[in-house]
Structure 1
Amino acid sequence: MSALIATSLPLAKTSMDPGASLNDTKTEMEASYAVLKFMESFCLLSSACGMVGNGIVIWFLGFHIKRNPFTVYILNLAVSDFGYLLCIAIETVQYLMQFNVGVQFGIFLFLDLFMYGTGLYLLTTISIERCLSVLCPVWFRCHRPKHLSSIMSALLWALSFLVCGLGYISCSVSTLHNCQQILITIGVLDFLICTPLMVLSGLTLVFRVCCSSHRFKTGRLFTVILLTILFFLIFAVPLGALLLLDFWNYKFLYSPEIGFVLSCVNSSLNPAIYFLVGSYRDRQFRDTLRVALQKVFEEEVNFRGERETASAELEMTTTTQ
């Protein structure tokens, strides 16, 4: 993130009138640095809070709750958010301490995009699977492979690593033109393919639940998934859009930095969403994060168990008759 700042400062300088005095130039440069320092400090604070929240989610979902198809995805999403915030925090500290990042910037940018892409692919898969669970409940309950979530999560991590790794290697050894082409391709994959799929699945899910003549018991996890997708579209998607525009040479003042700050907010918000949804229905906001998570995710497990028990009883009754 710090190296992207260098692209913003020349804009502030070149946008001034030719007759501007040296003092005016110095004042505007100082103002630019002040704005960037504020954004970096805010990003560091947001990252610290988000790492604590996502760390608690990882600990709880990894060791203290029975997993179901969606909590496996949520666990991997928390890991990607934690990794993304950690990279951003390290870059921010380096910038604020005025360390010479040099070659390290390329590595951290690769890790940023790797974690960002993984979160995007996971949320796209979550929205599609949740939509299928409502549109095709019999398949999802009876025919869905048991370890599909774990397999898909591993494949999505690998896909993100390969795509970002290809971009990193190409930008390290190829010409600037080839590097830009590959980064634009990554941006198109993220912003013009995965994001529309996420939106389409989410809208289909909402339409099916709200407009169907049958009553669906959505539960807290349904709300969590929709809110997570909504806030990702609001806070995280602008980063991909701004970077894509930047690669196409449509540069705006502070545009990459604003995108990174918003994406930090998004990765930090998910634990808060889990807590608020887990506490809202009972109006007990004094619950610990662990209790709130338990209400969100164990509700889905219990509801699924009730449906399976009811189906088994129905089959036994039919067989007896």
Structure 2
Amino acid sequence: MVGNGTVIWLLRVRGKRSPFSVYILNLAIADFAFLLSLDAWVTSRIFLHYLRELIGFIISVCIMTNTAGLSLLMAISTERCLSVTFPIWYKCRRPAHLSTIVCTLIWGLSLCLGILWLLYDSHYSMYYIYDTLLWVDSVLSLLTLLVLCVSSLTLLIRVHCCSRRRQVTKLYRVILLTVLAYLVLGLPVSLHFLLYILSYWFVNFRYFFNASCLLAALNSAVNPVIYFFVGRQGQRSGRRTLRELLQSALTDNLS
């Protein structure tokens, strides 16, 4: 939460805006809120008798922020792939406020899913809402996995083919490391819900669910580390502020 809060502060108050910094800002907000709601959910399970009425709201925030994080990661990877594959269109034809529009749509979709969970939490007889949420999460996770794999493979091929003419930029490394972190840490929790749909008995396997939640929390926490780690690469000797490191990681400056 401290790392994501630092990213939010630097980009929201002191950072220079760019198409990808808008995505990273919204991703940091989603990760911060997800970690906060996950902490609140753990606390509510410890003090269940005192916070029972808040559990439904906490879970709805978890669903909303997790959905937003997946969608934002997919949008970041897709736009970076388009910027490398179609550079002329990206520089000349790309709408000026595309990042803001996409982020607004993503948060709107995520908010709708959170409201659906609140409806189900208030009326347990509406079991079809629960099934709908599970299917939406599973389909979104599979779609995210497909898009990330295709876009990352495309980026690898393009960079490898153009390696003699174009060096690898820091932004490229940030995106690939973020995608890799999701595949290792964020995918298991989505896989759990998919297996729950396909096999009802899997829900009893609590250890996998608890472990996947821990990995999802690590996935939300590791992104700021990636930004500042990549930003430090290629820097001359001397101290650099966090703002300078973050701006360096989110631009197309060569390492």
Deviations 1:148-199 (A, max 9, x none): 1001100111011113322442454253752442133212322222221122
**Which residue number in structure 2 is paired with residue 71 of structure 1?**
21
Rounded to whole Å, the distance in 1 between the matches of 2:98 and 2:174 is: 21
Partner of 1:131: 81
Q: Which residue of 1 aligns with 2:248?
A: 295
Give the counterpart letter for 2:97 in structure 1. H
- The residue matched to 2:206 in structure 1 has which SS? coil
Count residues in correspondence: 251
What is the aligned-residue identity percentage? 37
Whole-Å separation in 2 of the counterparts to 1:77 and 1:284: 30
Offset at residue 227 of structure 1 (A): 0.6
- 1:278-289 maps to which residues of 2 (within 5 A)? 278-282=231-235, 287-289=240-242
Which residue of the other structure, out of 190, 214, 217, is the alignment partner of 1:261? 214
Deviation at 1:98, TM superposition (A): 5.7
**Which consecutive residues of structure 1, in runs of 5 or more, have no partner in the other structure?**
1-50, 304-321
**Cα separation, partners in 2 of 1:103 and 1:186, compared to 1, 3 Å:** farther
* Pairs within 5 Å for 1:15-94: 51-94=1-44
Residue number in structure 2 paired with 1:198: 148
In the alignment, is the contact (CA less than 8 A) between 1:228 and 1:270 conserved in 2?
yes
Q: How much does 1:289 deviate?
A: 2.8
Aligned AA for 1:293?
L
Query: Would the aligned equivalents of 2:228 and 2:245 in 1 still touch at CA under 8 Å?
Result: yes
Report the TM-score when normalising by structure 2.
Answer: 0.89
Distance in structure 1 (CA, Å) of the matches to 2:20 and 2:59: 29
Which segment drifts farther, 87-96 or 167-176? 167-176
Q: Which has the larger radius of gyration?
A: 1
**Which runs of at least 4 in structure 1 moved beyond 6 Å after TM superposition?**
none
Give the partner amino acid of 1:54.
N
Cα distance in 2 for partners of 1:213, 1:112 equals: 41
User: RMSD over aligned Cα, in angstroms?
Assistant: 2.3
**Which of the numbers 88, 92, 95 marks the counterpart of 1:145?**
95
Which residues of structure 2 form unaligned runs of 5+?
A: none
Question: How does the TM-score come out when normalised to structure 1?
Answer: 0.72
Instruction: Provide closer, same or farther for how the CA distance between residues 97 and 164 of structure 1 changes in structure 2, counting only shifts above 3 A.
Output: closer
| Distance in 2 separating the partners of 1:143 and 1:67 | 19
